[in-house]
Structure 1
Amino acid sequence: MRPAVLACALAFALAGQAHAAEHKAANLPPPTAKHPVHETLAGQSVDDPWRWLEDGSNQEVKSWIEAQNAYTEKTIAAIPAGKSLTERVKQLSITSTTRSGPMLAGGTLFFMKHTPPQSQPVLMAQAWPKGEPRVLVDLNANGGGTAMTGYWPSPSGRYLAYGTAEGGSELTTLHVLDTTNGKTLPDSLPWAGGGTTPQGVAWDKDEKGLTYVRFAPPPPGQQVRQFDAVLSHHAMGSDPANDPVVFGQGYSKVAEYILMQSPEGKVAVLANEGDGGAAEVFLKQGNAFNRVLGHQANVRGAHWVGEKLYVESFEGAPRGKLLSVDGEGAVQPVLAQAKGALQGVSPFADGFIVTRSWGPDWWAEQYDAQAKLVRRLPLPDTGITVGGVAAEAGQARALISYVGWTTPQRWVEYDGQAGTVANVFEVKPAADYGNVQVQRVQGLSKDGTAIPVTVISMKGIDANGKRPTILYSYGGFDIPITPGFIGSNLAWLERGGVLAYANIRGGNEFGQDWHAEGQKLKKQNVFDDFHAAAQALVSTGWTDAAHLGIRGGSNGGLLMGAALTQHPEAYRAVVSQVGIYDVPRHETAFANGPYNVSEYGTVADPAQAKATLAYSPLQHVKKSTKYPAVLMTTGANDPRVAPWQSRKFTAALQDATTSGQPILLLTRMNAGHGIGAPFSQRVGDAALALTFFAGELGLPETTPAPSSP
């Protein structure tokens, strides 16, 4: 790939001086050959003239990718606002040091620290609460191409396992560190999950070994097969090639495991068959892992609280309830369903803390040993997301992290006896966010479901019916849309633009019913909800179709594809990142597709195949249609969504559109799905998207004067 493309928008925007209207007629996309493929699915004839683009090793495909990158570079470079927007995004991205992922073990706090523009965060440790932080692992030496995929301290905190992956692939190798002297031990465990199935580690009670997720080692010279993950055990100092399988042999082709370890050394496993579904719960009893809860319990999470495993169950409780499992596997109710959707549980003092949400609002509650409510924690009432809760049983102080639309990452120490919080750490932003206002409107979906939409703008920016507006959502896999720091997106607001975030079905912000109503045969609800959110922005006077852009990634990229093919007249511009557009082929021709069957359903079921074909974006691209401007991005090493998804959809839209608006694709050759991406790539993504939207939605090149009251 060309150096300018590798630099993303940071390089694209520097040359941008020509007016957009002047370049569109001359700057045509590269031609794409058609090689007809015909097949039948669910009784329907499916044509796929773009299937040849699936073979990324083919020289013709490589040349096509290079030509598309050059076309994208040329088009983005011609946007007048690009240079100044990119510079402002860079400025806003250089905040003070950030912290994330707090975890307590044996009186030691472990966390990630990132100091922009450093490529990757650094793993830190400090004696909690008053110790001095010290560096444990710094992966920045090779320019940011190596990312940390996770870390797992031993019960005492003396040892720590951490995972690394290269080039965005997410395929993990585990390493072990002695935290007392900072030395990395010889143990190196390859094929330790990542990409299709999550990584996981649980230490032995005596800390002489660990259990970890592993794919079968591939034969020499061959790629690892990312199916049939198991749990293996490694004795420290032994040869990893001899690590025995201790659980999961034959469990599921698309097995996923979450390992949970108590401070006393007990181990539990949440086992999933693919993404988005309920887990089964297993306890390690002696040398065996015994199932204590099956799929019917609809388990979505768990945590050790003292000697018992507290399980988040949604069986008969769409907002969630807590069950306890003791060392013998006996299950007892702990906490009934209450107001708010259950999002997490952590040990605290002689009881526990739970995190809840209701739509875009999040909060945390303290309970005592009898599961009686002590209090709601004194955090901001609205506009924040409660993140990590680092706590240990028997200690009445916890570290709580939260973030808000205008509040960057903040850590507070919660005193459970006094009921107070005190700031421990906060990120200093690069600008003043005090003039940002947050409002809410409501859309009404096709079936009458109310859809909350958060609208963010600068104070004094009124709803004049044509504000350049970007609407974002996701809609799947139990993942909620939550308040997050707008960061460099302030560059958009400062020029009079508007940001909007929709809580559509498929996430879990209203509980598991909200998730289930956006799965499988009900996936169309997600797209209807998003359209309702967009119409709400128009009906409340914020914008119109000529000034409305939409953005999403991954499953949210599928959302973008469905939105622009179902309602091409409703949007002026679309940014879609690492998206799924040919849904049947995602399942049948890519490793991660079978893992997503629990969310999307399988096309082997005739009813599901019919429903899938009814929304799958690629199959609904129609010739001679005025499609909005589209910018797609993908990574050549993406293990979650095949990069050919973006290639095929780009070719189809370029062939079909009559709007004269650009259909662009950027492929990054040393990148993946975005997990663990270096800082420069993340900044480049932000600048690229805002530059594209600015050119298409008519964002002013200077900051507008405030409207009169």
Structure 2
Amino acid sequence: MLLVFVRLIVVSAALLGASSWCAAQVQPAAVLPARDVSLIDPNRPVSMPPATPQGKDASVLHGTRVGDPYRWLENPNDPTVQKWIATQNAHTEAVLAAMPDGKAMTARVQQLAITSTTRSGPLLAHGTLFYMQETPPQPQPLLMAQPWPNGTPRVLVDLNANGGNTAITNYWPSPRARYLAYGTAEGGSELTTIHVLDVATGKVLADALPWAGGGTTPQGLAWDADEKGFTYVRFVPPQGSAEVRQFDATLVHHALGEPAASDTVVFGQGYSRVAEYRLLSSPDAQQLAVLANVGDGGPAEVYRRDGTQWKKIVGADANVRTAAWIGQRLFVVSFADAPRGKLLAVDPQGAVSEVLGERDGAIQGVEPVASGFLVTRSWGPDWWMEQYDGKARFVRRVPLPAQGIGVGAIASELGQNQALISYGGWTTPSRRAEYDARSGHLKTVFAVKPAADYSNIEVQRIDGLSPDGSHVPVTVIAMRGITPNGKRPTILYGYGGFDIPVAPGFVGAKLAWLERGGVLAYANIRGGNEFGEAWHAQGQQLHKQNVFDDFHAAALALFDKQWTDRAHLGILGGSNGGLLMGASLVQHPGDYRAVVSMVGIYDVIRHETDFANGAYNVSEYGTVSDPAQFKATLAYSPLQNVQPHTAYPAVLTTTGANDPRVAPWQSRKFTAALQNATTSDRPILLLTRVNAGHGIGAPFSQRVGDTAIMLTFFAQELGLDAK
């Protein structure tokens, strides 16, 4: 799976992107901009990267020969490739160091990033609230426990001793909160090892379970009702010194105190080579349901454990995307014949009934509260939440702000009138509010204090019109008094895939861009689920070109409304959004002045066939083994559509050497092709982080450094006012 980490995470912005090499701009840097993560050495000479040699490799698919002259860059263990990476990094560092605005921009980003303590991922278990807490510039968050609602918080897990290289990937409290299982991963790899601690004493038990998902397939864990063991996701353990193969994940059972080698498979043997599992326990942990996916981006089958047997209770034809236990009934969100979603309930006997039909707004999630449930909905960039009673009768709309916010994690239990709702918005830092289901009262109980004043930011909406007539919402963000003049330096962000919505999220350190007259824009393009599952499906497989057309329509809308022009527009995206960046710049090279593209997919032809996670993405992108899909993919795959003797915009691509979701060679091959093809004097740069991955679990310093580099690059290329 790509950028999908937890389904409740919503995409609001990215950190890095793309650009190109410009000989006229290359000047020696006298002063190294201060950074938390040193990426720039001012003593290195600024030089043009050498032209990358081209080989004669090719693939023949359905009678079509697809040249692949940069295939030799796929092998990271080849000394020639390692030297190539080092040369590219040296060149990128030198060009970035020569940008005169780097020092001031970095200092301001660092200042804005030092907010008050942040909290995320709340989970309630037997009267104890578990959550992550980070106090900038702390490298990694702490895992906390607090007796709910008024107890004293305490630290359970702190992994900051080694400088932030180890990250917590997920955590799972036991039913009565006696134990807490948590996963860790190293160097951005996401490959998880599960540990267990005693909540009362804080002592970590001897249990350590490697190969527990991560990267290609998500981590998952469900405790037994007696708290003596649990079921969890695991890859097949490798033999001897061999590396783990991130395929054929199954569910295995572990008994506390027993060695990992004795864990036994209980579900999924032979289910799918690209299986993904989401485990859902009933409140008393007596029942366990599994949402099983074949790859990422498609519908789930729903299974329930009955004793030691597993029974399929909802098939893929129901188009289920998420689910939650509401008491002893499992509520699943189905999009079959309901593009905005409907709720089905499965009772303990396995009978399925419709609880709530399709209504206004696309369902994003459901959670228990009081005698009923809460439903989170969206329609484009607008998010809201509704309360229903035990008979699915509408009670009220939760009094969240009407516009400009996205809803995050919710901690709640059936029979409890209080729910803890996390939300934030463009100008609203992350906060938690306690919702009283009896009175409807919403009270903020925790809010992040920002490092600056965001009250002078204004948010507007415009519409783009895609070639097929679809309307694409674009949110435009600028400081009060910054009005359209036809040439505002503007950064347009998009994602467009895997059912992931672009929701309002705090602009944070990007205030450094806005306060100097820059503009930010966010497009709700197809491929996400902002308007429901149909909006997603229209950007999948044979329809992927709709995603790129929608994004271009958003750019044209910014031109039409006089916010900016082709000389001042930059575009930003990562992962699947990196594919969006690659396709956008090769399809419309004259419409974008600068591109920042992180951990992107650019050779879609080879993504499926020569990288583990590519097989998981077939449900989203389709397979090139199908002639029609191959033809559609070849038409948009960025690498194959780089044209020689073309003036490409400035491009900065970034990748991590330990990325399990998108192969680092994707960025190497695309950068080489652009550098050899472009006729412009604008920089084409590649930054490879050696001890990093896809960005999930990155330490604070890396996140801040990435933002500073991205804004410095755009400021240089788009002409942001330096005052």
Normalising to structure 1: TM-score of the pair?
0.96
- Residue 12 of structure 1 and its aligned partner are, at CA, apart by 5.2
* AA partner of residue 439 (structure 1): Q
Residue 80 of structure 1, aligned match among 97, 100, 108: 100
Aligned-pair CA distance for 1:14: 8.7
Which residue number in structure 1 is paired with residue 83 of structure 2? 63
| Alpha-carbon distance between aligned partners in 2 of 1:262 and 1:465, rounded to the nearest angstrom | 56
Matched to 1:450, the amino acid is: H
What is the 5 A alignment of 1:174-189?
A: 174-189=194-209
Structure 1's 56 and 6: CA in aligned 2 closer, same or farther, altered over 3 A? Answer: farther
Alpha-carbon contact 2:32-2:97 (below 8 Å) kept: no
State the partner residue of 1:706.
Answer: none
Amino acid of the residue matched to residue 466 of structure 1? Answer: K
Matched with 1:210 is 230
1:163 paired residue among 179, 183, 186: 183
In the alignment, structure 1 residue 320 sits paired with structure 2 residue 341: yes
State the SS of the aligned residue for 1:569: coil
1:529 aligns with 2:556: no
Pair 1:566 & 2:592 matched: no
Distance 1:93 1:230 in 2: 40
Q: Which residue of 2 aligns with 1:192?
A: 212
| Equivalent position SS for 2:608 | helix
Deviation readout 1:224-243 (Å, 9 max, x if unpaired): 01000000000111111011
Instruction: For 1:644 and 1:506, locate their aligned partners in 2 and report how far apart those are by CA, in whole Å.
Output: 25
Q: Residues of 1 paired with 2:718 and 2:64: CA distance?
A: 38
Give the superposition deviation at 1:39.
2.6
Once the two structures are superposed, what CA deviation does each residue of 1:237-275 show, in whole Å capped at 9, x if it has no partner?
Answer: 111101110000000000000000112111100000000
The 2-side partners of 1:39 and 1:93 are apart by 46
Q: Identify the residue that residue 140 of structure 2 maps to in structure 1.
A: 120
User: Does 1:698 find its partner at 2:719?
Assistant: yes
How do residues 318-397 of structure 1 correspond to structure 2 at under 5 angstroms? 318-397=339-418
> Which moved further from structure 2: 595-604 or 263-272?
263-272
Residue number in structure 2 paired with 1:305: 326
User: 114, 125, 128: which is aligned to 1:94?
Assistant: 114
In 2: Cα distance, 1:308 partner to 1:214 partner: 27
Residue 434 (structure 1) aligns with: 455
Structure 2 residue aligned with 1:147: 167
Aligned-residue offset at 1:349: 0.4
**Secondary structure of the corresponding residue to residue 36 of structure 1:** coil
**Partner residue of 2:26?**
none
Considering only aligned residues, what root-mean-square deviation do their CA atoms show, in Å?
1.5
- 1:304, CA displacement in angstroms? 0.5
Report the 3-state secondary structure (helix = DSSP H, G, I; strand = E; otherwise coil) of the residue aligned with 1:315: coil
* 2:97 counterpart of 1:39: no
- SS of 1:546's equivalent in the other structure is coil
Of 157, 174, 192 in structure 2, the residue corresponding to residue 172 of structure 1 is 192
CA contact (8 A) 1:6 1:668 kept: no
The whole-number CA distance in structure 2 between the counterparts of 1:28 and 1:441 is 41
Q: Using a 3 Å threshold, how does the CA distance of structure 1 residues 412 and 534 change in structure 2: closer, same or farther?
A: same
Structure 2 Cα separation of the partners of residues 42 and 636 of structure 1: 33
Cα distance 1:567–1:505, how it changes in 2: closer, same or farther (>3 A)?
A: same
Alignment of structure 1 residues 657-672 onto 2, 5 Å = 657-672=678-693
Report the AA paired with residue 408 of structure 1: P
Equivalent position SS for 1:233 = strand
Once the 2 structures are TM-superposed, how far is the Cα of residue 42 of structure 1 from its aligned partner?
Answer: 3.1
Distance in 1, Cα, partners of 2:148 & 2:58? 63
Alignment match, 1:295: 316
1:651 aligns with 2:672: yes
* 1:10 to partner: Cα distance: 5.5
Provide TM-score, normalisation by structure 2. 0.94
Q: Mapping of 1:534-573 within 5 angstroms?
A: 534-573=555-594
Q: Is the 8 A contact 2:105 2:712 kept in 1?
A: yes
Q: CA deviation at 1:58?
A: 0.3
269, 281, 291: which is aligned to 2:302? 281
State the Cα distance separating 1:327 from its structure 2 match. 1.6
How is 1:557-596 mapped onto 2 (pairs within 5 angstroms)? 557-596=578-617
Tell me, yes or no, if the aligned pair for 2:35 and 2:106 is still in contact at 8 Å: no
SS, match of residue 617 in structure 2 = helix
Moved more, 38-47 or 443-452: 38-47
Q: Show the counterpart of 2:420.
A: 399
User: CA offsets, 1:542-595, max 9 Å, x none?
Assistant: 000000000000000000000000000000000000000000100000000000
Q: Deviations over 1:592-648 (max 9, x none)?
A: 000000000000100000000000000000100000000000000000000000000
- The 5 Å alignment of 1:22-37 reads 27-37=47-57
Structure 2 letter corresponding to 1:246: V
- Alpha carbons of structure 1 residues 226 and 7: separation in structure 2 relative to 1, 3 Å: farther
Instruction: For CA contacts below 8 A with separation 6 or more, give which structure has more relative contact order.
Output: 2
One-letter identity of the residue aligned with 1:677: A
2:195 alignment partner AA: H
- Whole-angstrom CA distance in 2 between matches of 1:386 and 1:5: 40
Instruction: Give, in angstroms, the shift of residue 326 of structure 1.
Output: 1.4
CA distance in 2, matches of 1:516, 1:188: 40
Letter in 2 for 1:328: Q
Q: Which amino acid aligns with 2:103?
A: K
CA distance in 2, matches of 1:7, 1:612: 42
Answering whether residue 520 of structure 2 is matched by residue 499 of structure 1, we say yes
SS at match of 2:595: strand
Q: Using the alignment, how far apart are the partners of 1:591 and 1:301 within structure 2? A: 25
The verdict on how the C-alpha distance between 1:5 and 1:173 changes in structure 2, with shifts beyond 3 A counting, is farther
Matched residue type, 1:384 = I
Q: Distance in 2 between matches of 1:223 and 1:186?
A: 24
How far did 1:29 drift?
2.0
Paired residues of 2:192 and 2:212 also in contact (CA < 8 A): yes
Does the Cα contact within 8 Å between 2:40 and 2:94 map onto a contact in 1? Answer: no
Kindly tell me: are residues 673 and 321 of structure 1, through their superposed partners in 2, closer, same or farther at Cα, counting changes over 3 Å? same
| Aligned mates of 1:494, 1:264 — CA distance in 2 | 51
Q: Tell me which amino acid in the other structure corresponds to 1:224.
A: V
Could you tell me whether the CA contact under 8 Å between 2:32 and 2:40 is conserved in 1?
no
How far does residue 158 in structure 1 lie from its aligned partner after superposition? 1.1
Q: What do the CA deviations read for 1:415-447 (whole angstroms, capped 9, x no partner)? A: 111111111000000000001110011100010
Long gaps (5+) in structure 2 = 1-30
**Change in 2 beyond 3 A, CA 1:642/1:446:** same
Output the CA distance in 2 between the equivalents of 1:363 and 1:679: 30
Question: Which of 246, 265, 268 matches 1:248?
Answer: 268
Would the alpha carbon gap of residues 340 and 181 (structure 1) be closer, same or farther in structure 2, given more than 3 Å must change? same
Percent of pairs with identical residues: 68
Stretches of structure 1 that go unaligned for 5 or more consecutive residues are 703-709
1:201 aligns with 2:237: no
Following TM superposition, by how much is the alpha carbon of 1:157 offset from its aligned partner in structure 2, in angstroms? Answer: 1.1
Q: Distance in 2 between matches of 1:521 and 1:462?
A: 39
CA displacement, residues 320-357 of structure 1 (integer Å, 9 cap, x when unaligned) = 00011112211111100100000000010000001000
Question: Secondary structure of the residue that 2:183 maps to in structure 1?
Answer: strand
Question: 2: CA distance between counterparts of 1:13 and 1:206?
Answer: 54
How far residue 7 of structure 1 moved from its aligned partner, in angstroms, is: 9.0
CA distance in 2, matches of 1:12, 1:646: 18
Q: Which amino acid in 2 is paired with 1:215? A: F
Q: Given the superposition, is the C-alpha separation of residues 504 and 446 from structure 1 closer, same or farther in structure 2, using an over 3 Å criterion?
A: same
Give the SS at the match of 2:652.
Answer: strand
How many residue pairs get aligned? The number is: 692
1:187-239 deviation per Cα after TM superposition (whole angstroms, max 9, x unaligned): 11110000000000000010101000000110111110100000000011111
Letter in 1 for 2:90: A
Show the counterpart of 1:705: none
Quick one: which amino acid aligns to residue 139 of structure 1?
L
